[in-house]
Chain A
Amino acid sequence: MTKTYKLPIGPAHVGLKEPVTAWLDIEGERIVDATVRPGAIHRGIEFMSRERNPAQVIFLAERICGICSFSHSIAYAKAVEDAAKVQVPVRGQYIRSLVLELERVHSHILWLSVACYSIGFDSAFHLGMALREKVMDVLEALTGNRVNYAVTAIGGVRWDVTPKVERVVRDMVAYYRSEFHEYYDAVINDPVVKARLRDVGVLPTGDAVRLDALGPTSRGSGVRADVRESSPYDAYCDISVKAIVPQDYFGEVHGDVLDRFLVRLLEVYQSLDLLESILDGLPEGPITAFPKPVAGLAKLKAAGGLGYGCIEAPRGDVTHVVELEAGDENVFMWKVRAPTYANAQAWPLMFIGNEIADAALIINSIDPCISCMERMVLTDRAANRQGVVTKDELLKMSREKTADLRRKMGKC
Chain B
Amino acid sequence: MDMLASAQSKKNPTSMEIYADKKVNYKTPQEVLEFLQSRLGDAVTETELREYKEGVCQYSRWHLLLTVKRESFLSLVDALGELDFPHFHVTSGSDDGDTVRQIYHFSLFRREGRGRELTVTVTVRVPKTDLVMPSLHGRNPGVGFSEREMNEMLGVAHDGQPNTDLVFLPDGWDRTILPWRRDETGPEGKGVINELD
Interface residues of B in 136-164 (CB under 8 A from A): 140-142, 144-145
Cβ B116 vs Cβ A230 within 8 A:
yes
Q: Give the contact stretch, choosing among B36-44, B69-77, B81-89, B127-135.
A: B81-89
* Chain B residues in 8 Å Cβ range of A224: 111
B89 close to A229 (CB less than 8 A) = no
Q: How long is the Cα–Cα vector from A223 to B142 in the complex, in angstroms?
A: 16
Is residue A181 contacting chain B, with contact meaning CB distance below 8 A? no
Query: Cβ of B94 < 8 Å from any Cβ of A?
Result: yes
Q: Which residues of B contact A206 (CB under 8 A)?
A: 3-6, 9, 18, 20
Instruction: Find out whether the CB atom of B117 lies under 8 angstroms from the CB atom of A231.
Output: yes
**A332 contacts which chain B residues (CB < 8 A)?**
94
Query: Taking the nearest CB of chain B, how far is it from the CB of A98, in angstroms?
Result: 14
| B123 nearest CB neighbor, chain A only | A306
Contacts of B94 in A (CB 8 A): 323, 332-333
B interface, over-half SS: loop
In the complex, A352 has a CB within 8 A of chain B = yes
In the complex, the answer to whether B109 meets A230 with C-beta atoms within 8 Å is yes
Interface residue SS majority, chain A = mixed
State in angstroms the CA–CA spacing of A403 and B137 once bound together.
42
Interface residues of B in 16-75 (CB under 8 A from A): 18-20, 50, 52, 54-59, 61, 63, 65
Contact A235 B144 (CB under 8 A): no
Interface footprint category on A: 35 or more
Closest to A243 in B: B111
Of the listed stretches A37-45, A118-126, A364-372, A388-396, name the one at the interface; the rest are far from the partner chain: A37-45
8 Å CB interface, A213-228 against B: 213, 221-225, 227
A223 to B92, CA, bound (A): 26
B190 in contact (CB, < 8 A): no
In chain B, positions 104-125 with a C-beta closer than 8 Å to chain A are 105, 107, 109-117, 119, 121
Which A residues are in CB contact (< 8 Å) with B55?
Answer: 90, 93, 232, 234-238
Residues of A within 8 A of B (CB): 18, 37-40, 42, 44, 46-47, 82, 88, 90, 93, 202, 204-207, 209-213, 221-225, 227, 229-238, 240, 253-255, 281, 283, 306, 308, 310, 317, 319, 321, 323, 332-333, 335, 337, 341-342, 344-345, 348-349, 352-353
- Minimum-distance CB pairs A-B, first 6: A237-B55, A212-B142, A237-B59, A39-B168, A335-B92, A337-B90
Query: Which residues on B are within 8 Å of A, measured CB to CB?
Result: 1-9, 12, 14, 18-20, 50, 52, 54-59, 61, 63, 65, 85, 87-94, 103, 105, 107, 109-117, 119, 121, 140-142, 144-145, 165-170, 179-180, 187
